[in-house]
Amino acid sequence: MKTLTRLFLTLLTAIAVPLAFAYVDDAHSRAMEAATPAVKEGYLVRQEYWAGSVTVRQPSAVKHQLFKGNSYWFWLGSDEDSAQVTVHVYDADGKIAEAESWQRGNMAAVKVVPKKTGTYIIVFSIEQSRAKKNRWALAYGYK
Amino acid sequence: MNVSALFLALMLGVSAIAAPLPPPPVQIDVNKLPAQAKVIDRVVVPVPNEIFAVLDKLGKPRWAGLVHRDVSKAKPTGDTPQIAMMLGVIIAEGLIAVEAEDAEEVKEIGRAILTFANAIGVRKAVVRRANSVIEFADKRNWNRVRTELDGALADVREAMIELNSESLAQLVSLGGWLRGTEVVAQVVTMDFSRSGAELLHQPGLIDHFQRHIAGMKSRFRDSRLVGKVSKGLTDIRPLVGEDGSRIPEKNVREIASISGSLVKSISSKSN
């Protein structure tokens, strides 16, 4: 019985772990698709990124250190084709800090040219989607 | 459900999906953030070359004189936290060598990354990146080397998290941050400017590292070196100023001295 349980758990892990990564990768692939125009302009994409899952209209936020003198693009992607995603950036005082932004279905991007070095808040949301839970990935690049 | 009801339901669904998105608020109350938006715990620590890019715009620093060539020749020593922090120092050193466009040193760094990753059991995760660092340094494709060093850091961290070593993953980032901070403070000291000093204004990151050290398992937190680094962070914290405050030259020198002494401890055989 113990052996059977162990076998079941091993199989479950073997199936669940790659699936979990596939979800993250799909959302990240959308974010990277969104990054393509900026990469052509010479932005270096960070290899680390944020990822997770959220319900519709549940805004999330990450805090991130930005440096005055650089310009940044943040790219948000979701693996859900029907999703409409948004991403916006605020400074430490809560004022909107973006220079440019665009939104196209399950991809959105925002450009920031920081006026000060310090912590900024990136607020993002899945505004509409047919899925209850949506995987997302948020990446950024700098120049 | 009859056909017209199904059609109506479909149309409602489509109109909901296609509705225009509301414009973003121009101001949010940052004190009410958890209520307005779920704050994601994960912190992505900037790589040192994000700051180097700004320093290059402020005036071309003499990067070649800032490369510590002994770092790439170091051998793993001490406990696991020390090796993890040293791996971060090595990756940051690689980024400094990239700024100096020193292909031979970058290749040595690629090899050192493999040695240290092996010592903490994450060699497999980083082999491809380390080989790419060597390959692209040979071709002097510096932007690609920057990406591969950043990727090596990300892959090492990911592998450690998979091994349930989030604490060690944070220590890799911390080691890289300390070496990056040391060199940024040195560059700013050489030709002081307010804009340069402002780059050291990173209280959020210092708070993040301190929180992580405080939350570590005692077997890591009780390491003498981790204790020394924690004390150093406490000493650096008031020097980087609060939001909007200027960082005087005296503080920059002190930050360079503290971070430099911590990097020396991390690289040292005896702690």
How many structural domains does chain A have?
Answer: 1
Q: Are the Cβ atoms of A121 and B36 closer than 8 angstroms?
A: no
How confident is residue B269, by pLDDT bands cut at 50, 70 and 90?
A: confident
Of the listed ranges B11-15, B169-173, B176-180, B199-203, the one predicted with least confidence: B11-15
Residues on chain B touching A82 (C-beta within 8 angstroms): 17
How many structural domains does chain B have?
Answer: 1
What CATH number does the domain containing A106 carry?
Answer: 2.60.120.380
Q: Is the pLDDT of residue B1 over 50?
A: no
B30 inside 8 A of chain A by CB: yes
**% chain B with pLDDT above 90:** 80
- Counting beta carbons within 10 angstroms of the beta carbon of residue B123, is it exposed (0 to 12), middle (13 to 18) or buried (19 or more)? middle
Average pLDDT rounded to a whole number, residues B254-268: 97
A2 inside 8 A of chain B by CB: no
B150 → chain A, closest CA residue: A47
Say if B126 falls within a structural domain. Answer: yes
B27 inside 8 A of chain A by CB: yes
B38 inside 8 A of chain A by CB: yes
- Shortest Cα–Cα distance, B271 to chain A (Å): 31
pLDDT at residue A4 in the model: 47
Q: Are the Cβ atoms of B147 and A44 closer than 8 angstroms?
A: yes
Average pLDDT, chain B: 91
Domain of B256, in residue numbers: 72-265
Say if B25 falls within a structural domain. Answer: no
Quickly tell me which residue has 């503080």 as its tokens: B251
Say if B76 falls within a structural domain. Answer: yes
Domain of A132, in residue numbers: 2-142
Q: Are the Cβ atoms of B21 and A103 closer than 8 angstroms?
A: yes
Quickly tell me which residue has 């510590």 as its tokens: B68
pLDDT at residue B36 in the model: 78
pTM for the full predicted model: 0.87
Q: Is the dihedral of CA A122, B88, B105, B195 positive or negative?
A: positive
Say if B104 falls within a structural domain. Answer: yes
Interface of B with A in 43-72 (CB under 8 A): 43-47, 49-51, 53-54, 57-58
Say if B59 falls within a structural domain. Answer: no
pLDDT, tens digit only, all 143 positions of chain A:
444 444 444 444 444 443 434 444 899 999 999 999 999 999 999 999 999 999 999 999 999 999 999 999 999 999 999 999 999 999 999 999 999 999 999 999 999 999 999 999 999 999 999 999 999 999 999 99
- Shortest Cα–Cα distance, B55 to chain A (Å): 9
pLDDT at residue B242 in the model: 77
A69 → chain B, closest CA residue: B54
Number of H helices, E strands in chain B: 13, 1
pLDDT at residue B15 in the model: 43
Q: How far apart are CA B242 and CA B248, in angstroms?
A: 13
Residues on chain A touching B247 (C-beta within 8 angstroms): none
pLDDT at residue B102 in the model: 97
Q: How far apart are CA A98 and CA A93, in angstroms?
A: 14
Average pLDDT rounded to a whole number, residues B205-226: 95
How many CB atoms are closer than 10 A to CB B19?
Answer: 11
Contact B68, B93 (CB under 8 A): yes
Say if B194 falls within a structural domain. Answer: yes
Average pLDDT rounded to a whole number, residues B28-51: 89
